[in-house]
Structure 1
Amino acid sequence: MDWLERIATLRQWARNGARAPHKPLLLLYALARFQKDADGGLRYTAVEHDLQNLLTEYGPPNRTTPAYPFHHLVSDGVWEVRTDRGTGSPGTARRELRETGATGRLAPELRAALRREPDLLGRIARLLLDLHFPPSLHGELCEAVGLELEPAEVERLVPARRQRDPRMRELVLTAYEYQCAFCGYDGRIGAVPVGLEAAHVRWWAFGGPDDIDNGLCLCSLHHKLFDKGVLGVDGDHRILVSQRFVGRSPAAREHVIALAGRPLTGPQPGVRPVAAAHRDWHTRQVFHGEPRPAAAA
């Protein structure tokens, strides 16, 4: 059985590029638990809080519940659920999962394959990360679920997957004249820029092209905050700051809160700005909550 292909083709709700990382997050969490206890199960009542936190932190802005992937992942053949009544999930109602003692774990065949092939767990985890999350969040997400992975290149496992354009970084940084579009940071060591990155507005994993009008030159801090939904861009190419962001220090106020309503720095004349379709996708699928009012001048 090709477990990598099965993982790459998980059944997910999808419409107009909507994010639905519920099953990938549950699988990453389950793989981390398997690393620590290959025979253990995940009782819903014991892991519900952890899974809800993961969905809140790394899922789409809309409300969601960990009961959804806990039940529906069974249909993909990689997960099983047992209750006090026997084999099978009682449904997606939290109350039913709690009251029946629902316990989930990786399917027996997958557990056996993970034992036979020591590197399979890491390959599955990296595939999940690559397909569903931007690179800026991979390390942080592994820490959040407790996964321990060896540094390695993501293997190209599915022939139909697109290849990234290695020129995008240089094209985007040049378009923004090697300055962070949010704060203007332009640090270099000699002639080499440091701490500047090409951020995809619409994530590459969700059909975002390697085009200049889907990119922003951002410093490392603002790239991470942009991918976490703290920051965004509105229709007038001004910076959005989520009301959910809390920072009381002078640094947080200066480097994040004060950005609200500020116009983007760049791109240079003659270069296409961020396309409305990509900007709108980010606002719907990544940006969290309502934007703060523009900071006072």
Structure 2
Amino acid sequence: MDWIERVAEMRRWTRGGERAPHKPLLLLYALGRFQQHGNQPIHFSAAEAELKKLLKEYGPPRDTSPGYPFHHLTNDGLWLVNTRHGAGSPGPELGRLRDSQATGRLHPDLARALSEEPSLLGRIARFLLDANFAPSLHADLCLLAGLDLEALDTVREIRKAVRRDPGFRDRVLMAYEYCCAFCSYDGWLDGTVVGLDAAHVRWWAFDGPDDMSNGLCLCAIHHKLFDKGVLGLTKERTIAVSAKYVGRSDASRAMVLSLAGRPARNPQPGLDAVEQGHIGWHNSQVFRSPARL
């Protein structure tokens, strides 16, 4: 059985490019628990807060319930739920999952395959990360899910069939003259650019193309904040800062809060600026609205 294919075929709610990483987040959490404790039952009452935090930090901006993936992942042959009444999930409602003392665990066939082939856990986790989240989020997400990222990084053969364009970074950095579009940072070391990234506005995992119309040159910290939804772009290509972001230090005020309403740097004349469609996707699927005024 090809478990990567089974994971890839996992049914997810989709509509117009909206993010719905509820099941992938639960599966990453379950893999982390398996890595630490084997296929011991995961009590919903104990896992609820951790799943809620994962969904809040790495799910879409809209509110979502940890009961949704805990119940619905059972439809994909990867996850089983039992209650004090026996086998089967009581549904996605939080009250029912708590009252029935629901527990979940990986399907025994998957657990057996993970035990027999240790590299499989890393390959599944890497596939889930690549297919659902921006690369800048992978390390922190794994830490929160309890996955040992260093062990996962020993296995890198799983990637999407469509490979990323290795020239994307060079083109984007050149277009923005090796300067962060948000703060103008432009560091070099021994003739090599340091601390600058080519950020995808629409994530590659959600059909974001490797071309200039979807790229921004950002310093490492603003790239991370952009992918976390702290920062965004308006239709006028000014910088948006989430009103949910709190920063009390002088550094936070200077590096983040002061950006609100500031025009983002444009690429060199004659080169494509970020398309409005990609900006709109980021605003609806990543940016934590409302924006600060």
CA distance in structure 2 between the aligned counterparts of 1:80 and 1:155, rounded to whole angstroms: 28
1:224 alignment partner, SS class: helix
What is the CA–CA distance in structure 2 between the aligned matches of 1:237 and 1:180, rounded to whole Å?
A: 14
Q: Which residue of 2 aligns with 1:152?
A: 154
| Offset at residue 52 of structure 1 (A) | 0.4
> CA–CA distance in 2 between the matches of 1:252 and 1:4?
41
Question: What is the DSSP-based 3-state SS (H/G/I as helix, E as strand, rest coil) of the residue aligned with 2:258?
Answer: helix
Partner SS state of residue 166, structure 1: coil
Quick check: 7-16 or 276-285, which moved more? 7-16
The answer to whether the 8 A contact 1:127-1:154 is kept is no
State yes or no: 1:11 paired with 2:23: no
**Correspondence 1:24 to 2:27:** no
Corresponding residue number in structure 2 for 1:135: 135
TM-aligned CA deviation for residue 254 of structure 1: 0.2
Match of 2:121 in 1: 121
In 1, are the aligned partners of 2:130 and 2:159 still within 8 Å (CA)? no
Q: Does 1:216 align with 2:216?
A: yes
Which ranges of structure 2 fall in alignment gaps of 5 or more residues?
none
**Whole-Å separation in 2 of the counterparts to 1:157 and 1:9:** 15
Instruction: Give the TM-score, by structure 1 length.
Output: 0.96
The 1-side partners of 2:53 and 2:219 are apart by: 27
CA distance in 1, matches of 2:118, 2:155: 17
Identity of aligned residues (%): 57
- In 1, the alpha carbon distance for the partners of 2:63 and 2:143 equals 23
Q: What is the CA-CA distance between 1:10 and the residue it aligns to?
A: 1.1
Distance in 2 between the 1:105 and 1:288 partners?
32
In structure 1, distance between residues paired with 2:177 and 2:144: 35
1:40, CA displacement in angstroms?
1.2
List aligned pairs for 1:220-231, cutoff 5 A: 220-231=220-231
Helix, strand or coil for the counterpart of 1:45? Answer: helix
What is the alpha-carbon distance in structure 2 between the residues aligned to residue 181 and residue 65 of structure 1? 36
Contact 1:45–1:98 (Cα < 8 Å) also in 2: yes
Q: Pairwise mapping of residues 278-293 of structure 1 onto structure 2 (< 5 A)? A: 278-293=278-293
* Counterpart Cα distance in 1 of 2:138 and 2:196: 18
Q: State the SS of the aligned residue for 2:82.
A: strand
Contact 2:39 2:106 (8 Å CA) reproduced: no
- Distance in 2 of aligned mates of 1:173 and 1:50: 38
Q: 2:112 — aligned with what?
A: 112
Cα displacement (A) at 1:157: 5.7
* C-alpha contact (below 8 Å) 1:200/1:214 kept by paired residues: yes
- Matches of 1:52 and 1:103, distance apart in 2: 16
What secondary structure is seen at the aligned counterpart in 2 of 1:80?
strand
One-letter code aligned to 2:238? R
Task: Render the CA deviation track for 1:35-72: whole Å, top value 9, x for unaligned.
Answer: 11113111111110100010000000011000000000
Cross-structure match for 2:246: 246
In the alignment, the residues of structure 1 paired with residue 138 and residue 254 of structure 2 have an alpha-carbon distance, to the nearest angstrom, of 27
CA contact (8 A) 1:5 1:157 kept: no
CA displacement, residues 105-152 of structure 1 (integer Å, 9 cap, x when unaligned): 000100111110111111111111011011101111111111013223
Any idea what the Cα deviations from partners look like across 1:78-101, whole Å, max 9, x if unmatched? 000000111000111111101001
SS at match of 1:199: strand
Query: 1:212 and 1:156 mapped to 2: Cα distance?
Result: 26
C-alpha separation in 2, matches of 1:153 and 1:79: 24
Matched AA of 1:196: L
Distance 1:50 1:279 in 2: 31
Residues 240 and 260, structure 1, Cα contact 8 Å, conserved in 2 = yes
Q: CA, structure 1 residues 171+202, in 2 after alignment: closer, same or farther (shift >3 Å)?
A: same
Q: Distance in 2 between matches of 1:191 and 1:236?
A: 34
* Runs of 5+ consecutive residues of structure 1 not aligned to the other structure: none
- Counterparts of 2:159 and 2:57, CA distance in 1: 28
Q: CA RMSD in A?
A: 1.0
Q: Which deviations, in whole Å up to 9, do the C-alpha atoms of 1:128-186 show, x marking residues without a partner?
A: 1011011101111111111013223532466xx31111110000001100000000000
1:191, CA displacement in angstroms?
2.0
Alignment of 1:36-55 (within 5 A): 36-55=36-55
